């Protein structure tokens, strides 16, 4: 009986050996390591990233090896060159220097009767408005006569319309401050005649120079913002538009 028990024990041991699990698997993982190259100082950022991964697993009956992605990326940023010059308080173009020795337009409407005037303007301010309107009346009458003699030629056809606008702007100031307006334009019928359009343009050049110089002087006659604004705008139109137009055709 003891022998039988020994044989049974041996049989049980053999059975347990046959059921034993295979040897354990060992996993080894290499961590992913990004590599970044710093941006250069010349505005060309270069970024290189390499991702490497290796995994290895070994079982009792096999070996497997896998390699991760490898990659290199390069990006180039924007490059630009700009040049600018700061404002140093100097004009980009030289101001136009106009002759100052030309005689002003005779005033046919100055010295009005102001005994009944009760407005707020001084005598100097009123005289300024009179001189301005007289000069615009004169220009309109001369250019209108040229158009009547030679047809609607340029630049007279365009400038006549502009002069009419100038007159309206000044007449509005007369109304605002209660200054009496003349009944009619005293220069109508008093304008000179010319042998050619070119000759008329030459006279137009001088007339616009006189107008620009007149407004420069009249700006010292008042400190009222509305009057100064009209003077400045009418002067700019004569200097920057009318004068160059007549210079081109003279």
DSSP per-residue codes, 144-193: HHHHHHH-S-TTHHHHHHHHHHHHHHHHHHHHHHTPPPPSS-TTTTT---
Domain boundary assignment for the chain: 123-249
Angle at Cα 97 formed by Cα 205 and Cα 142, nearest 5°? Answer: 15
- Three-state secondary-structure class, residue 58: strand
Question: Rounded distance, CA 204 to CA 185, Å?
Answer: 19
pLDDT tens for each residue of 114-145: 889 999 999 999 999 999 999 999 999 999 99
CATH code for the structural domain at 123-249: 1.20.1260.10
Per-residue model confidence as pLDDT tens digits over 183-210 = 899 999 999 999 999 999 999 999 999 9
pTM above 0.75, yes or no: no
């Amino acid at each position: 009986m003891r022998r039988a028990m020994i044989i049974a024990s041996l049989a049980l041991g053999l059975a347990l050996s046959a059921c034993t699990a295979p040897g354990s698997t060992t996993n080894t993982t290499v961590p992913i390591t990004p590599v970044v190259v710093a941006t250069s100082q010349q505005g060309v950022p270069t970024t290189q990233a390499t991702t490497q991964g290796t995994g290895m697993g070994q079982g009792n009956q096999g070996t497997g090896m896998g390699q991760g992605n490898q990659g290199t990326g390069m990006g180039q940023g924007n490059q630009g060159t700009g040049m600018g010059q700061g404002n140093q308080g100097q004009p980009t173009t030289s101001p136009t220097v106009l002759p100052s020795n030309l005689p002003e337009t005779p005033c046919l409407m100055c010295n009005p009767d102001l005994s009944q005037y009760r407005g707020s303007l001084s005598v100097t301010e009123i005289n300024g408005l009179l001189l301005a309107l007289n000069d615009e009346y004169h220009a309109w009458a001369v250019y209108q006569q040229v158009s009547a003699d030679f047809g609607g030629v340029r630049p007279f056809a365009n400038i006549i319309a502009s002069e009419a606008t100038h007159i309206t702007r000044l007449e509005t100031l007369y109304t605002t401050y209660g200054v009496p307006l003349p009944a009619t334009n005293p220069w109508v019928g008093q304008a000179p005649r010319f042998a050619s359009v070119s000759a008329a343009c030459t006279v137009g050049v001088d007339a616009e120079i006189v107008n620009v110089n007149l407004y420069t002087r009249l700006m010292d006659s008042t400190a009222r913002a509305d009057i100064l604004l009209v003077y400045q705008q009418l002067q700019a139109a004569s200097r920057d538009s009318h004068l160059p137009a007549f210079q081109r055709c003279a």
